[in-house]
Chains A and B, each alone.
Chain A
């Protein structure tokens, strides 16, 4: 559908703040001194079918992990007002959120897990423990990255040193098995500033780009691809101020940090939406966070509007532009990929998208490596004690990548990409980069 056919643009996909028809179901703070909400009524929807447990990648390899049904509806239902303790096994959940899609009955599993984990970290985790400090560092990757990328070459050199890895593992509990991601010598935002902002300006086709931390500090080429592709389709791209989407913070139960970041993001993105833009993310975990976790956990003004108007980049173009048509007219050289759909892309129904799109593009082919989880789940696979579990979960994906007729990997998620590279040694690209090559041209970069 093009704008010519529907001058109203995204209006049918855009919703105002949802009406408060079910006012009494709004979660109410029952434990005022903590941040947690009463999610016991959510257990009403669980009829114990255990489909969530069978789809949990952690439970599949870790017999000690009791699974999402226990973590979510069972644990919540057993709670009384004065009960505070949460079972520590919630820290073994990787927050892949596959249970959300698996549940046939709409149990708010990840919301229950996130809330329980937040309350566990708040009330039961020793704030001076190595685990807490390590998790705090990992989940605030953006802060670290902002510092490191001031002197990217030095940081990359130091982070690559054996002694640094040894320190990280022995003192912080960050695995030495992985190579720390390299910082780009020029961040996306630096590039954007230097470029002088958008090349296209128009108020009827406008998107606000949520680049997230990784595209900014580590893979600015993905952010640049997003900008060029959208400009090629005639969009004005805005790059509002932004903080971490919160994904690593949710997964580590650092809800206060996540809330602070979300407050800025919601305010900035809601303002962009007011100005006629839709929100676009290139990282599927960022878009899931804005769409699902924010409204489940926070209640800032504009949260619902941001959730309703956020899209993954290619999803947006497929909805509003004739992306397949554009690709059918294009051609790339010899682009064969082993494609892995991130769990968080699955949750948004995007798992078939990249394969379908590249099917339409001559010279390109993406082979789906199956529906297993990559196992890294953001910060999870970086934890020394979780590394083996993470690699065991990823084993199936590695096998399938190697069996695929391609020597390059493809995925939307930056940490899945790390894991894919770590397990196979392949170079990993983002679908936006392939689309960029097709619709903008290889020389654009």
Chain B
């Protein structure tokens, strides 16, 4: 008897998708992830829900999958998707032939495509340059990868799965030529993450192990003694302070760096580059990549040149090509996904890896791997993930009506409901006062507490669930408020450690945007934190604070 039927390694979109699919088919699933959900590539993408238009010339089978999955996700994940629409914009001087090829490609792949004149394109997106010659309108959208991934994990849990984050696989257990589980090292626990609690090692035995670690698949393969040659390729993305565009804007020319602007929640994300790296966790984040984004994309949307950036980040694509293909340029490597059955390939049973692929088709990949696992385990249940909505996306249409009922100011209520979807009622109906904790992103105490319930003391996990600290001050005015919500369930040292970790994470991206307004922002944040919390020279570091020595404050609480 094993601990679980299937272990899924990797808490990104693919891993969470696989866990959900298998759990819905009635299998007992355990998902382990070394960081937060979305910690790897999923949390570092530009948030584009592909229409398939980007691949309509170069990779038509991917394009067809994209448009099909695009339609599925609108149905099952309405609260994670914003159907912004998108344009492939041809500027004066961009090749006509490619525009025609793109248009024909879209039509061949069944992607609704409509040609707009330059004037129509600008009427739709007023900040586009007046050099627009014409554009193709396609059903691109924006998707929140954090919310989608968390919703998949929540659905898996509802179907009985166990989700363990901050549980790094340190060994793949094999008995000769059969994999029978993994050994993990918990950061704290097992269970929800809790700073300052000792982590244990745990052996989790299973009938089948799925390696869904994307760019890290080679490392997990190595633990099992098989060679999985992923070719990680980094891409830089720049986050703007606000939305200069409300639809996805692509430059319509043959592949190139820095050719897309995606409206994402309250921001716009510029992308991207494509440079192969050795190690998915250790690569240089270079200034030229950021400059390139802004320089190139200003030709498309001129206001970007003067607009405020709030941070930059890099993601690593889990590119893969079958051994012997030998493509030199990473931009030429296929975006298709591959299911590697190690029994067939390496004579190692009970183990498969899934590599390549892209976020938009995560569900399809998950379905294929779940089919494979079920076949291996002799389970005949069929996939239901394309039909059953994710938690938060059930009955999404009725929501608008009760937006006003939560006693929140209208933009705060509106944004909260956009994030929570059908969970809004459950999360926001609260007896106590419900102040806004993060002003930039309009996140209330109730939503932060709901996220803490899900993820323990991990404030970065709270962040990806709520967007708190992801706005223009990058947490300068709200990180400590989030940490304060950990009390009284968790103690002061835990809250302090969690706060430190959140600050560090915020700084990681903000340091790549230190000019103009964001430099002023960082300077203000520094001054505020230094003068109000002594964070420039923390007297409480390493020592406990005598909180009892402080008075309890005024009787009125002021």
Binding site for B on A (CB under 8 A): 24-25, 28-30, 38, 40-41, 43-49, 66, 69-70, 74-81, 83, 85-89, 105
Give 18 A-B contacts (CB < 8 Å), ordered by A residue: A24-B129, A28-B127, A40-B243, A41-B303, A43-B472, A46-B472, A48-B473, A77-B241, A77-B266, A77-B472, A80-B82, A80-B246, A83-B411, A85-B410, A85-B411, A85-B414, A87-B411, A88-B410
Interface SS of chain A = loop
Q: How far is the CB of B439 from chain A (nearest CB, A)?
A: 6
A43 to B303, CA, bound (A): 14
A27 to B129, CA, bound (A): 14
A76 to B243, CA, bound (A): 10
| Chain B residues near A89 (CB-CB < 8 A) | 409
Closest residue on chain B to residue A46 by CB atoms: B472
| Chain A residues near B188 (CB-CB < 8 A) | none
Asked whether any CB of chain A lies closer than 8 Å to the CB of B509, the reply is no
CB-based contact B242/A77 at 8 Å: yes
> Which residue of the partner chain, among A43, A81, A86, contacts B241 with CB atoms under 8 Å?
A43
CB-based contact A45/B411 at 8 Å: no
CB-based contact A70/B307 at 8 Å: no
Mark interface residues in B101-126 (1 if CB within 8 Å of A CB, else 0): 00000000000000000000000001
| Chain B residues near A44 (CB-CB < 8 A) | 241-242, 307-308, 472, 517
CB-based contact B477/A40 at 8 Å: no
| Chain A residues near B524 (CB-CB < 8 A) | 47-49
Pick from B246, B441, B473 the residue with the most CB of A within 10 Å.
B246
Q: How far is the CB of A130 from chain B (nearest CB, A)?
A: 21
Pick from B243, B244, B307 the residue with the most CB of A within 10 Å.
B243
| Chain A residues near B472 (CB-CB < 8 A) | 43-44, 46-48, 77
| Chain A residues near B476 (CB-CB < 8 A) | 48
Q: How far is the CB of A331 from chain B (nearest CB, A)?
A: 51
Instruction: Known contacts A28-B126, A29-B126; decide if A43 and B242 are in contact (CB<8 Å).
Output: yes
Asked whether any CB of chain A lies closer than 8 Å to the CB of B58, the reply is no
CB-based contact B127/A45 at 8 Å: no
A87 to B403, CA, bound (A): 13
CB-based contact A87/B410 at 8 Å: yes
| Chain B residues near A86 (CB-CB < 8 A) | 410
Asked whether any CB of chain A lies closer than 8 Å to the CB of B423, the reply is no
> How many chain B residues have a CB neighbour from A under 8 Å?
35
B residues 94-152 in Cβ contact with A at 8 Å: 126-127, 129
CB-based contact B440/A48 at 8 Å: yes
Binding site for A on B (CB under 8 A): 82, 126-127, 129, 241-244, 246, 263, 266, 302-303, 306-308, 409-412, 414-415, 439-442, 471-473, 476-477, 517, 520-521, 524
A22 to B269, CA, bound (A): 23
Q: How far is the CB of A67 from chain B (nearest CB, A)?
A: 10
Interface SS of chain B = loop
Closest 9 CB pairs of A and B: A28-B126, A44-B308, A81-B246, A47-B521, A24-B302, A78-B411, A87-B409, A87-B410, A40-B242
Q: How far is the CB of A124 from chain B (nearest CB, A)?
A: 9
Q: How far is the CB of B265 from chain A (nearest CB, A)?
A: 9
Closest residue on chain B to residue A27 by CB atoms: B126
Could you list 8 further interchain pairs (A-B, Cβ under 8 angstroms) beyond the known A41-B242, A77-B440, A78-B411? A38-B126, A44-B241, A48-B476, A69-B439, A77-B242, A80-B246, A86-B410, A87-B411
A60 to B243, CA, bound (A): 32
| Chain B residues near A40 (CB-CB < 8 A) | 242-244
| Chain A residues near B520 (CB-CB < 8 A) | 47, 105
| Chain B residues near A85 (CB-CB < 8 A) | 410-411, 414
> Which residue of the partner chain, among B126, B241, B246, B266, contacts A78 with CB atoms under 8 Å?
B266
| Chain A residues near B266 (CB-CB < 8 A) | 77-78
CB-based contact A25/B411 at 8 Å: no
| Chain B residues near A80 (CB-CB < 8 A) | 82, 243, 246, 263
A251 to B471, CA, bound (A): 30
A41 to B412, CA, bound (A): 19
A36 to B127, CA, bound (A): 16
CB-based contact A74/B307 at 8 Å: no
Q: How far is the CB of B12 from chain A (nearest CB, A)?
A: 27
CB-based contact A74/B517 at 8 Å: no
> Which residue of the partner chain, among A28, A47, A75, A105, contacts B411 with CB atoms under 8 Å?
A75
| Chain A residues near B82 (CB-CB < 8 A) | 80
A105 to B523, CA, bound (A): 14
A397 to B274, CA, bound (A): 64
Q: How far is the CB of A56 from chain B (nearest CB, A)?
A: 15
CB-based contact A24/B307 at 8 Å: no
Closest residue on chain B to residue A30 by CB atoms: B126
Q: How far is the CB of A26 from chain B (nearest CB, A)?
A: 9
CB-based contact B414/A83 at 8 Å: yes
Instruction: Known contacts A77-B242, A77-B266, A87-B409; decide if A47 and B517 are in contact (CB<8 Å).
Output: yes
Closest residue on chain A to residue B308 by CB atoms: A44
| Chain A residues near B412 (CB-CB < 8 A) | 78
| Chain B residues near A30 (CB-CB < 8 A) | 126, 246
CB-based contact B409/A48 at 8 Å: no
CB-based contact B410/A41 at 8 Å: no
Closest residue on chain B to residue A79 by CB atoms: B411
Closest residue on chain B to residue A76 by CB atoms: B242
A46 to B476, CA, bound (A): 13
CB-based contact B439/A70 at 8 Å: yes
A385 to B467, CA, bound (A): 37
Instruction: Known contacts A77-B266, A78-B266, A87-B411; decide if A48 and B302 are in contact (CB<8 Å).
Output: no
Closest residue on chain B to residue A22 by CB atoms: B306
| Chain A residues near B414 (CB-CB < 8 A) | 78, 83, 85
CB-based contact B126/A47 at 8 Å: no
A45 to B244, CA, bound (A): 14
CB-based contact B477/A48 at 8 Å: yes
Closest residue on chain A to residue B123 by CB atoms: A32
| Chain B residues near A45 (CB-CB < 8 A) | 308, 517
Closest residue on chain A to residue B245 by CB atoms: A81
| Chain B residues near A24 (CB-CB < 8 A) | 127, 129, 302-303
Closest residue on chain B to residue A74 by CB atoms: B439
| Chain A residues near B415 (CB-CB < 8 A) | 78
A38 to B307, CA, bound (A): 14
A48 to B439, CA, bound (A): 9
| Chain B residues near A43 (CB-CB < 8 A) | 241-242, 472
CB-based contact A78/B442 at 8 Å: yes
Q: How far is the CB of B375 from chain A (nearest CB, A)?
A: 44
| Chain B residues near A38 (CB-CB < 8 A) | 126
A80 to B82, CA, bound (A): 10
